[in-house]
Structure 1
């Protein structure tokens, strides 16, 4: 279960995150609100690993692909950890990405699904993340959102199972949701 933690009388800052325990949970901050999520499950991590590897294999030299936990910290009141992210190599510091990534990917889990599709999606949109992908590991389904000319997300694709998605942003790569599950898809689990 994801928990939103209220701090009486004020909001959290990124400095507050430094004092959080290293306990396997994910601590994220969105506009001063702290969200704590449990460690992800097997299907979730399988998809993150396969997708990260697939993106990394097609990634141009001036971009970098990273998986969580790695902080995207555009302000003192917001720090997110997308499951997978792509950013310009020149924008990264050793500890974090201080600007919007070009691509943020969230893999849904029972504890984070609603937040990934609402609060985090809105935060990425405000940040200016050009492309936001959401993967439901149960089907599997990939939903793709891209910023329009007004800076608002529009869903540009939704593919399921063995149907491919040919991404152009942030670089050309073909994604087949079923292949992200590997043997889990083949076994019908």
Structure 2
């Protein structure tokens, strides 16, 4: 279960995250509100691994693909750790990405689904993340959102099972949701 925690008297800062326990949970901040999530499950991690490898194989040399936990920290009150991110090499520091990534990917789990589709989606949109993908590992389904000229997300694709998504942002790559599950895909969800 994801928990949103209020800090007594004020909101949390990124400095407060340094004091969080190393207990396998993910600690993130959105506008000073602490989000705590449990360790991800098997299907979730399988998708992160396969998609990360797929993105890395197609990634241009001036970009990097990284899995969580790696901090995106655009301010002292917001730090997110997308399941996967793509950013420009020149934008990274050794410890974090201080600007919006070009792509943020979240793989849903029962405890994070609503948060990933609302709180985190809104935070990525405000940051200016040009492409945001959400993957439901149970179906499997990939929904892709891109910023429009006004800076708002619009859904540009939703593909399920063996249907491909031909992404153009942040670089061309073909993603087939069923292939991200490998041998876990049984083909019955379509």
- State the TM-score, normalizing by the size of structure 2: 0.98
Question: Residue 182 of structure 1 aligns to a residue in which SS?
Answer: helix
Distance 1:54 1:166 in 2: 13
Cα shift at 1:32 = 0.1
Alignment match, 1:55: 55
Alignment match, 1:163: 163
Distance 1:157 1:178 in 2: 16
Distance 1:37 1:186 in 2: 28
Q: Say yes or no: does 1:116 pair with 2:116.
A: yes
Distance 1:173 1:17 in 2: 34
Alignment match, 1:25: 25
Alignment match, 2:45: 45
Cα shift at 1:6 = 1.1
Distance 1:97 1:183 in 2: 34
Matches within 5 A, 1:133-148: 133-148=133-148
Structure 1 stretches of 4+ with a deviation exceeding 2 A read 186-189
Alignment match, 1:86: 86
Cα shift at 1:188 = 6.0
Alignment match, 1:132: 132
Q: Deviations over 1:75-109 (max 9, x none)?
A: 00000000000000100000000000000000000
Distance 2:156 2:95 in 1: 32
Distance 1:38 1:186 in 2: 27
Cα shift at 1:127 = 0.1
Cα shift at 1:186 = 4.1
Distance 1:188 1:17 in 2: 42
Distance 1:89 1:26 in 2: 24
- The 8 Å contact of residues 134 and 143 in structure 2, kept in 1 or not, is answered as yes
Gaps of 5+ in 1: none
Cα shift at 1:187 = 8.0
Cα shift at 1:53 = 0.4
- The 8 Å contact of residues 30 and 123 in structure 2, kept in 1 or not, is answered as yes
Distance 1:3 1:59 in 2: 34
**What is the total number of aligned residue pairs between the two structures?**
189
- Supply the RMSD in Å over aligned alpha carbons: 1.1
Cα shift at 1:21 = 0.7
Q: Deviations over 1:141-161 (max 9, x none)?
A: 000000000000000000000
